[in-house]
Structure 1
Amino acid sequence: LRAVGEASLRAAVSESIHLLRLNPWLWRWVLVEALGGYVFSLTMPFQMIYAVRVKGADEFTLGYMGLALNLGSIISSPLAGKLADRIGRVRTILLLRPLYYASVLTLILAPSPAYLVLAFLIRGLFFASGAVFQTLALELVTYEYRGRWSAVRSLISMISRSPAPFIGGILYTSVAPEAPFLVSILVDLALRVPLIYSTPETLNREEYLRRFKPPSPRHSSENVKYQGSEGRAVAPSVHSRRV
């Protein structure tokens, strides 16, 4: 059973790598998610610290900021979903991107604590793109590969983004309190946006599936199944290509 488990693990890893090689835009999407740590994880630990220490926010302002964030997300989420189903996932994500930049700049340039509430309202409007982002990520592969695809994305992105909060702390204390926020805009605008733009649209499912290449049977972890401790091979069942 141990040998079977090791063989299954190797097969799963091999198949996942082969899946990414066959569809280069999947590698680019993994990079998009990895760089996301240097946009959001770089700044999130320091937003409230910045609001209090630099912009003079009190406990009531912080509460209103959280309320504005939630209200913005509630208002914009249904609209973003409808827009994504009409013009496409990629276009919707890119269309809502400037809201993030506007929220960061409003936070940095806020002349009074009241503007911090506005900054977080705009951030809430932007957060609606998160659901569209995740929808696109799942639709980049067919149904039977989504578990492995999600695991690969999570593994690579979590490892690569782990240093981001530490780097944000260095920028905040050693460069300037505004530095992490400005770097996050630069990383997103210069690196992530071009990668998102190059991602194929999945709204037209049939058209996308004509481009998508699944791993060949010899790379499939379902190609051979084992029974019992002797590891006798059993012919694989035929799976329809589910979308």
Structure 2
Amino acid sequence: MKTLAVKVVPVILVGTMLTGCVTNQPRNDTESSTASSQSDSQRTKTEGAVFGALLGGLIGLAAGDEKGAVIGAAVGAGAGYLIGNEIAKRKEAYATNEDFLDAETARTAEFNQTAKAQHQRLRTEIAALDTETAALRKQYKSGKANRDQLLAKQKQLNEKIAKNQEFESTLQKEYEINSEILAEERKTRPASDPYLAKLEKENNDLKAQIEQLRDDSTHLAQINERLSV
């Protein structure tokens, strides 16, 4: 039986190769000092790719499939690079890291406000839909409603679920981007840094909002299930 250490090797190799793709570029004496090292943008992209590869690989290992770990590493690398690329693009709009962190905090706060409003609206809609679908189901059993009416209500519910899940996905991307920003900035900023503290607070709130919206989608799906015929 293979040990965990043996299984981890392919994952680490993938991360190493990804790093080497950027750091092992040939240089000569005529190159400028700027070209002799990675730009902040390129370094952020690369670090995001390596982080994604290792995370994807560990997910694969947790499932107990060595091949899955290697595939997970490759998929994770792509996702990580996209996150790193997005961070680098956002950073370019600001003169200092402090301005960038303030902007990300404000952006996340806006997402939180929108998510809270969405959750409150869905809570009201879910209560109404719960009553409506129970009555419709009762009418269907007694012959006072037909199958088409049930299907129409299911379509309405499916549209609400799809829209809410799309919003969840957007929030999840923001949460992952913020998490990566925090991880990178902690390497150079003090633990008590106020900019990081504010962003972390908003990001934790964002995670809570995502969980609430997922619960809302689950409740909508349960209501939808009652209309199955």
TM-score (norm 1): 0.22
Ranked by relative contact order (alpha carbons within 8 Å, sequence separation 6 or more), the top structure is 1
Normalised TM-score (structure 2): 0.23
